[in-house]
A and B are shown apart, each in its own frame.
Chain A
Amino acid sequence: MRLTGARILMECLRAEGVEVFFGYPGGVVLPLYNTLGEYPDIKHVLVRHEQAAAHAADGYARVAGRTGVCLATSGPGATNLVTGITTAYMDSVPMVVLTGNVARDLIGRDGFQEADITGITLPITKHNYLLMRASEIAPAVKEAFHIASTGRKGPVLVDIPKDVFIEEAEWDGYPQGVSLRGYPIMDVPREEEVDKAAEIVNSAKKPIIIAGHGVVQSEAQDELVEFAERSDTPVLTTLLGISGMPEDHELSYGFLGMHGHFYANMAADRADVVIGIGMRFDDRAMGRFSDFNPTARIVHIDIDPAEIGKNFKTHAPVNGDVKETLSRLLPQIERNSHPEWRAEIDQIMDQHPTDYIEEGTGLGGPWLVRALAEATEGQSTIVTGVGQHQMWAAQYYPYTKQRQWVTSGGLGTMGYEVPAAMGAQFAQDEPIWSICGDGGFQMTSQELQTVADHNLPVRFAIFNNGFLGMVRQWQELFYEHNYHSVDLGQPDFVKLAEAYGIRGVRVSTRAEAIQIFRDLEGYDGPVVIDFQLEREENVWPMVPAGAALSETIESAEEL
């Protein structure tokens, strides 16, 4: 059967089981939009800015555990995606990004709205394609989904010139497989590497696990818990590993790093064996590399061979998928117990709990997250922006279910909170809580209209401190309190919500906060809540930039 390129593309999305994608039209993708009506089972969500299409696909992917899809036109449409693609790339989120380009004969001639998007995205995609024939679409899309969703996941871009959408090619069904010689799947670890890892784990006196995003992506919570229990190893997570370990488990000690828990940082620093699982030893997690626990032996399980040994000397490298590796490692792990080591960490935790909650009636960030956790019984999916509110959301909400926590870690993209929550809401029915900064919210609030279009039940909780709070904290602590460009003017968020036809509420006291949480039970539309936070609260604890984990401080006096 002969089909146009546009139809072939849609047939491919259908064959991939894509249920929703996020996009924005323009000249060169008109032939594609012309066919969308014939594919009602593939929901197209019209966003208000292409950056949001990318973040929405990313949020959807992280919550659904499937590949997110977004679409933009050539030139400015494609370049608007760049921040969203980079965000996904840094956090290894599976995404297929579709862009239109100018007709083939105009490529390379600075045609109207031509942008070299495959060139631009070389360093921010796992792979990309510029297709010059309709017959290339099906094999390329098949490869794109395969590459995006296997191994270390990531965004793949497919750029299609306008006339390729119109050209016809033979369609005889979606390709069954791919043949990518330079891309073997490295899920299964080598036996000798597993043996070596088991030997080190079994001989540890003070072991610690650092579970990362790979645990969540591999959905290996059960295996992780069993591994920890059997070897009696306390578990820390990275910021992105949050929700990989149920935090109500007695072996869970929260996350480590720049704003991680004091006890977590100390445990990582004092361990004799550090077992990194699906994490990349990022500087925000590990502090100053040269002074991170110099005596520990390091076991590193990672699907990406280039991550192993990148930042730290690794005594037992294990190249494989977390789930595959843990299930092979488990039978070799001896039942063990480390009561003294556990007691040592418990004691640090008793002396240095993360409990910076002030008495009174005003709204502090930590108090507010705790109250939200109580009201939602710790069961909600939480999406955040970047800044202080993000750190409080990480510290004070008790995550227990995989994929319950969605945040931009590697790129730290403000403005992620609104569109990512919007996209994520397409992956589940239960309302999503989007914890927003007043700064970040103002970056992408145009998506409230998309939320209204689809009457999505997202709860946008603006942690409104009237500041670019995280930057203000740094100016206070490291730049002699010299505030510059952080005192942010803002619209009336309640009226703004109402202008979009969305319920808006302002909350200034703890009593009102508890009340609004109650009021929202059963409410199935969107809501924007302007929480009037204390203005100059700081996030503690903290590892000052360039310091080691052992130098974690708990107040400004320690500087």
Chain B
Amino acid sequence: MASRNTIVAHVEDRPGVLARVASLFRRRGFNIESLTVGHCEEPGLSRMTIVVDGDDHQVDQVCRQLFKLIDVVSVQDITYVPMVDRELALLKVSATNFNRREVLDVVEVFRADVVDVHSEALIVQVLGDEGKVNAAVEMFEQFGILEMVRTGRVAMVRGTETTKPPAISDSQQAAAAIRAMLGRRPEGALPFASD
């Protein structure tokens, strides 16, 4: 079953690291839906949230191949973990004196924000998970969307658990931590899901 999977990777904040990740995805034929990079709680590391299409086996391969990049410090597949995921969209919606009220009603329904007003258009900022943003976009289409920009997904695991990478003090421990992270199979299950 092809589905959209969420992977969180921590990478060294170095020039070229994004190119390495992109090169790997291209070469291995992995299908990226979105990739979002930014700072995280630890200076020197960036956090990538990657949304990929693929079955269990493909996603397992994505994680394992990603981890082989020297600049990739940790990789976790959080698709099946309870998490919060968000994306943000800016929509330039056509809105005149005749229909501005209607547009604003829709803004309210989605708990979106108007961040710029002009006599013939509004910029609406929508924040939410992918489904909500999709629904909002669909609703605004009736007024005419002049322009749209969407970020990719960012995500965080719920509760006290984190996806922070292990510190390296001891190489053996680091190896163990990484092995525990890799792959989505439940303990004991076969690491291959082609059948």
Q: Which residues of A contact B (CB under 8 A)?
A: 118-119, 122-123, 126-127, 130, 147, 179-186, 188, 190, 304-306, 308-310, 312-315, 317, 319
Contacts and interface: CB of A to CB of B under 8 A. Distances in A.
Contacts of B27: 123
> 3 closest A-B pairs (Cβ-Cβ)?
A306-B64, A309-B191, A309-B192
Contacts of A123: 23-24, 27
Greatest chain A CB density within 10 A among B70, B165, B174, B183 is at B70
Greatest chain B CB density within 10 A among A185, A188, A306, A312 is at A306
Contact of A182 (B12, B179, B183): B12
A319 B57 CA distance: 17
B13 to A, nearest CB: 12
B77 interface: no
B57 A309 contact: yes
Nearest to A118: B16
B179 A186 contact: yes
29 contacts: A118-B16, A122-B23, A123-B24, A123-B27, A127-B69, A127-B70, A130-B16, A147-B70, A180-B70, A182-B11, A182-B67, A182-B69, A182-B71, A184-B171, A184-B172, A184-B175, A185-B175, A188-B175, A190-B176, A305-B182, A305-B183, A306-B65, A309-B190, A309-B191, A313-B190, A313-B194, A314-B190, A314-B192, A317-B191
B86 interface: no
A176 to B, nearest CB: 15
B191 A314 contact: yes
Contacts of A310: 61
Contacts of A147: 70
Interface in B180-195: 182-183, 190-192, 194-195
A182 B190 contact: no
A312 B195 CA distance: 10
B178 A184 contact: yes
Contact of B165 (A181, A186, A313): A181
A96 B19 CA distance: 21
Contact of B174 (A127, A184, A319): A184
Main secondary structure of the interface of A (DSSP, over half): loop
A304 B179 contact: no
B56 to A, nearest CB: 10
Interface of B: 11-12, 16, 19-20, 23-24, 27, 57, 60-61, 64-65, 67-74, 165, 167-168, 171-172, 174-176, 178-179, 182-183, 190-192, 194-195
Contacts of B61: 306, 310
Contacts of A185: 171, 175
A190 B20 contact: no
Given A309-B57, A309-B191, A182 B70 contact: yes
B179 A305 contact: yes
Contacts of A304: 68
A440 to B, nearest CB: 27
Contacts of A319: 179
B15 to A, nearest CB: 8
B192 A312 contact: yes
Given A186-B178, A306-B67, A309-B60, 13 more contacts: A123-B23, A123-B24, A130-B16, A147-B70, A182-B71, A182-B72, A184-B175, A188-B175, A305-B64, A305-B179, A306-B68, A313-B195, A314-B190
A124 B191 CA distance: 26
Contacts of B171: 184-185
A453 to B, nearest CB: 37
B179 to A, nearest CB: 6
B179 A190 contact: yes
A313 B168 contact: no
A181 B60 CA distance: 21
A181 B74 CA distance: 9
Greatest chain B CB density within 10 A among A126, A185, A188, A305 is at A305
Nearest to B70: A127
Contacts of B19: 119, 122
A288 to B, nearest CB: 14
A122 B23 CA distance: 7
Nearest to B66: A306
Contacts of B24: 123
Contacts of A118: 16
A126 B179 CA distance: 20
Contact of A181 (B12, B64, B176, B192): B12
A227 B188 CA distance: 25
Contact of B67 (A126, A130, A305, A315): A305
Nearest to A132: B15
B77 to A, nearest CB: 14
A188 B72 contact: no
B70 A186 contact: no
Contacts of A188: 172, 175
A186 B64 CA distance: 13
A544 B190 CA distance: 31
A310 B65 CA distance: 10
B132 to A, nearest CB: 35
A118 B182 CA distance: 28
Given A122-B20, A306-B61, A184 B194 contact: no
B41 to A, nearest CB: 15
A147 B176 CA distance: 19
B192 A182 contact: no
A125 to B, nearest CB: 10
B27 to A, nearest CB: 5
A126 B71 CA distance: 11
Contacts of B192: 309, 312-314
Contacts of B70: 126-127, 147, 180, 182-183
Nearest to B23: A122
A89 to B, nearest CB: 12
Nearest to B27: A123
Nearest to A311: B192
Greatest chain B CB density within 10 A among A180, A190, A309, A312 is at A309
Contacts of B182: 305
A286 to B, nearest CB: 14
Contacts of B67: 182, 305-306
Contacts of B183: 305
Contacts of A308: 191
Contacts of B20: 122
Contacts of A181: 12, 73, 165, 167-168, 174
A130 B14 CA distance: 11
A313 B165 CA distance: 29
A295 B168 CA distance: 41
Contacts of B60: 309
